Each structure stands twice: as C-alpha cells, then as structure tokens.
A and B are shown apart, each in its own frame.
Chain A
Amino acid sequence: DAGVTQSPTHLIKTRGQQVTLRCSPKSGHDTVSWYQQALGQGPQFIFQYYEEEERQRGNFPDRFSGHQFPNYSSELNVNALLLGDSALYLCASSQVGRREKLFFGSGTQLSVL
C-alpha cells in the first residue's frame, strides 16, 4: 500500500518563475492538505482540498493556488516566486470521517535563487 507520494523531490527555480508541485494521496484517502515548512520552523497550513474544491485556506497570498483531480491527486502552484518561498512543501492526505489522522509525504524541497 503506497503512502503519500510527492514529486519532484527537489526543485530549483529563480525569482519570478512559476512552479507546480504534485501529490498522490494514500490509497483510500480523499482529502489533500498542503503545508509549507521553512528551515527551522514547523509546517504552516496552506490549503485543503476535498471533492475538487478548496475547503480551507491558511494565511498565504493568492500566488499560491491548487487543484484536486477526480482521482484525488492534487497540485500546488506558486506564481511569481520570491526568495522567501524557499521551503519544504509537504502534502498530507486523510479521509472524510477521519480527517484528524493525517499522513504526510516526504515533501518537495524548493529552492528559489
């Protein structure tokens, strides 16, 4: 049973570029949440998707957007990258009725130069 898978594992971009990160949830899970973890910090909630809709959003600008597909996989898009967007981006999946039990992927390490 595959867990949460994220791609790519590492990514280097320059300021002003756009990036797309991908996440496949654990089998049987229908809810995907995205978190940003800067160096030396705990993860920060970006947003959550369920039934292909954004259900909750954290304190992140509109440059951060997402999508959930019918197969429950998800993408995180960041436009107009800033140096401060350099971080580990974590995807977490859960299932309705047990949303408190999150499973995290290993993350995508994004470096913005």
Chain B
Amino acid sequence: TQLLEQSPQFLSIQEGENLTVYCNSSSVFSSLQWYRQEPGEGPVLLVTVVTGGEVKKLKRLTFQFGDARKDSSLHITAAQPGDTGLYLCADISGGSNYKLTFGKGTLLTVNP
C-alpha cells in the first residue's frame, strides 16, 4: 500500500513570506496532483504533474516533481491570507478509472 507523507503538518507564517511544503511517497507516483481545501469546502485541484523533473507555475505557486517521481514540492512566493488552507497531495492510480490516494495534508495559515 502506497504511503504519502506530507510535511510540515502545520505551518503558520506572516503575509509576504515565502514557504515550501513537501510530499513524499513510499513508491513511485503514477501521476501527482496538488489540491487546496478551505474550511467547510471540498478540495480544489491546483495542478497535475506527470513527468519526472517537471516544474509547473500557477501565479505565485511553483510545483516541482522529483526526477525519480517519488517526491514533490509546492513553493508559494509572497504568501497572502487567501492562501490559507489545507494543501493536499494525491497520487492518481486505478488505470482508466482513476482513484486518488491522498496524504494527510499541510495546514497553512497566513496571518495578515
């Protein structure tokens, strides 16, 4: 059974700071997705990465996929209070039917 570990578990920073959160797997990812979940809401897909070494940018968010496809990171530049939420990584598996295996997430709080 694949295990996804996310770190840190909790992160509290001030507005304007930069941060990085990590996702590591006990086995090779098929494909990896990052989600953000706000309180009282369902997760919202941020990005899908497929190829080892891949880097994707989404405004102030930069996603990296490790060369060996066993780790990934999410870097946020100049964090804003609107970035507050639970950041989840998920492995996609299940062939054409797709199912997600999630990590426990990193709970980020950005203080004004």
Contact = CB atoms under 8 A, between A and B. Distances in A.
B78 interface: no
Contacts of B41: 106-107
Given A99-B98, A100-B31, A102-B98, 17 more contacts: A42-B4, A42-B90, A42-B103, A48-B94, A55-B97, A56-B97, A56-B99, A58-B99, A100-B92, A101-B45, A101-B48, A102-B45, A102-B100, A104-B42, A104-B44, A105-B42, A107-B41
Interface in A9-63: 33, 35, 40-45, 48, 50, 55-56, 58
A94 interface: yes
B42 A50 contact: no
A106 B44 CA distance: 10
Name B's interface SS.
strand
B88 interface: yes
26 contacts: A4-B42, A35-B100, A41-B104, A42-B4, A42-B88, A42-B90, A42-B102, A42-B104, A42-B105, A43-B43, A43-B88, A43-B102, A45-B99, A45-B101, A50-B97, A55-B97, A58-B99, A90-B43, A94-B98, A100-B31, A101-B45, A104-B44, A105-B42, A106-B40, A106-B41, A106-B42
